Amino acid sequence: MQNSNDNRADNNNIIENVENGGAISSITAKDKSNNKKIIFVSIFVITIVAFLFFFGTDLKNGVSRVQNSSSETVDLSDYNVLKQGKVKPYKAEPIKGIFLTANTAGISSSLDALIQLANQTEINAFVIDVKNDFGNVTYNMDIKQVDEIGSEYIAIKDINKVMDKLYNNNIYPIARIVAFKDPYLSSHKTEYAIKNKDGSLFQYKNVSWVSPYNQDAWKYIVDIAKEAALSGFKEIQFDYIRFEATYSLENADFGHEDSYENRMKVIADFIDYAKKELEPYGVVVSADVFGTIIVSEIDAKMIGQNYLEMSKNLDVICPMVYPSHYGRGYYGVPASKSPDLYPYEIIYGSMMDSNNVINKITSENERPVVRPWLQAFTASYLGGGNYMTYDGKAIQAQIKAVKDAGLEEWLLWNSGNRYSKDGLSAK
């Protein structure tokens, strides 16, 4: 972790050194005889003192200021507002974001191009890989166990520089932390891993997973989240916060009694643990979930994601409702047609189902923000006639569906980070 004394360790503060203008040391003794100059200097000194008092007061109160590219004063501490137990991620502006790999975030030219996109469009948030699908921590962190097993892959050489760019351009930073899909941790700390009955590592599609029942693994994951908060991320977003979606897990050894009910309980328990551990850091806690679990009890039990129970304890829930991922026959789409060809219908239908579930939480203040992941990629792997090009029109159709369902927020997923202005509203 760079600069342990960095003010960013207080996640409510934004880093910016206040530079004082005009030194007054050039006033000599001879000038004092000139009454006009005395008056001028007095006014100047009073102005400087008032200026320092203004900023000093704000700094003591935990609010510092940074200038964005348009020279407007930005206070990103406004993004975290505690409201009756739920951390709301903003005051005025709904989050509309895109996903970035750590490699993209770590290359200045690539990051700058996407910042330019954000400055020109409605995009105002970046979801950045901090712990990726391979189990790698993507920048230098001061965590003993990370150092012991060597799980760092330094794609982002200077996280402070990246955060400064985001803050300066008023872009809301979200840390994506892949939880239980972790081939690196599970192969280096096998006691944390899901295993076969013979003691060998359980693998699905050649990838080993950490057991969600292992609480030492919980600590490892949340320790990374804490470091991300100290780096300046305003939101921690857990992905793969689930069991693998395969019946082959029936024969696995989790180091704990396993059942569908236990799976849903342990995922909810992990969220509860993460929320309590991260509470002192003032960050928003969100999680990605399968879109189908909103209505499919079978899917929910298999992977351990109960949409209602997870929603009760999250600040933000992010269902992945990519049309390409749905089976046929959903939301009025003809069974003879691929859902990928119906971006509006799939998003609108899934978000209306989400509304029905979320409305079961009787206290409105305890309901999470629903922020769906939308498809910004072309699913050509579905084969001819089963997919369409997800261009600006497809993006626009999905965003319209979100709005028509009464929601305001969304995220765009493209694993290669190829985004354009097409389909996005201008600033």
H, E, C per residue of 245-299: CCHHHHHCECCCCCCHHHHHHHHHHHHHHHHHHHHHHCCEEEEEEEHHHHCCHHH
Q: Is 49 helix (H, G, I), strand (E, B) or coil?
A: helix
- The backbone region for 240, taken as left when phi is positive above 0, alpha when psi lies in -120 to 50, beta otherwise, is left
H helix or E strand, kind and range, residue 222: helix 215-231
Q: Which of 28, 114, 122 is nearest to 402 (CA)?
A: 122
Cβ atoms < 10 Å from Cβ of 95: 23
Q: Which of 204, 211, 213, 194 is nearest to 247 (CA)?
A: 204
Q: Look at the block and give the residue holding tokens 């940074």.
A: 66
Handedness of CA 309, 314, 316, 322 (dihedral sign): negative
| Contact of 293 with 307, CB cutoff 8 Å | yes
pLDDT of 246: 85
pLDDT of 85: 45
| Contact of 347 with 401, CB cutoff 8 Å | yes
pLDDT of 67: 29
Instruction: Specify which residues 173 forms β-bridges with.
Output: 126
Burial bucket for residue 123 (CB in 10 Å: 0-12, 13-18, 19+): buried
Strands 284-290 and 86-88: unpaired
Q: Is 46 helix (H, G, I), strand (E, B) or coil?
A: helix
| Contact of 178 with 172, CB cutoff 8 Å | no
Q: Is 10 helix (H, G, I), strand (E, B) or coil?
A: coil
pLDDT of 364: 85
Q: Which of 156, 125, 163, 122 is nearest to 140 (CA)?
A: 156
Q: Is 238 helix (H, G, I), strand (E, B) or coil?
A: strand
For residue 194, which amino acid is it?
I
Residue 120 to residue 208: CA distance in whole angstroms: 41
Residue 130 to residue 388: CA distance in whole angstroms: 32
Taking CA atoms, 89 is separated from 73, 244, 287, 418, in Å, by 19, 29, 14, 26
Q: Which of 143, 209, 216, 139 is nearest to 178 (CA)?
A: 209
Strands 73-74 and 66-67: antiparallel
Q: Each residue's pLDDT tens digit in the chain (427 positions)?
A: 433 333 343 443 332 332 333 332 333 333 334 444 444 445 454 554 444 443 443 332 332 222 233 333 333 444 443 333 455 444 458 999 999 999 999 999 999 999 999 999 999 999 999 999 999 999 999 999 999 999 999 999 999 999 999 999 999 999 999 999 999 999 999 999 999 999 999 999 999 999 999 999 999 999 999 999 999 999 999 999 999 988 889 889 998 999 999 999 999 999 999 999 999 999 999 999 999 999 999 999 999 999 999 999 999 999 999 999 999 999 999 999 999 999 999 999 999 999 999 999 998 889 999 999 999 999 999 999 999 999 999 999 999 999 999 999 999 999 999 999 999 999 8
Residue 261 to residue 183: CA distance in whole angstroms: 25
pLDDT of 36: 40
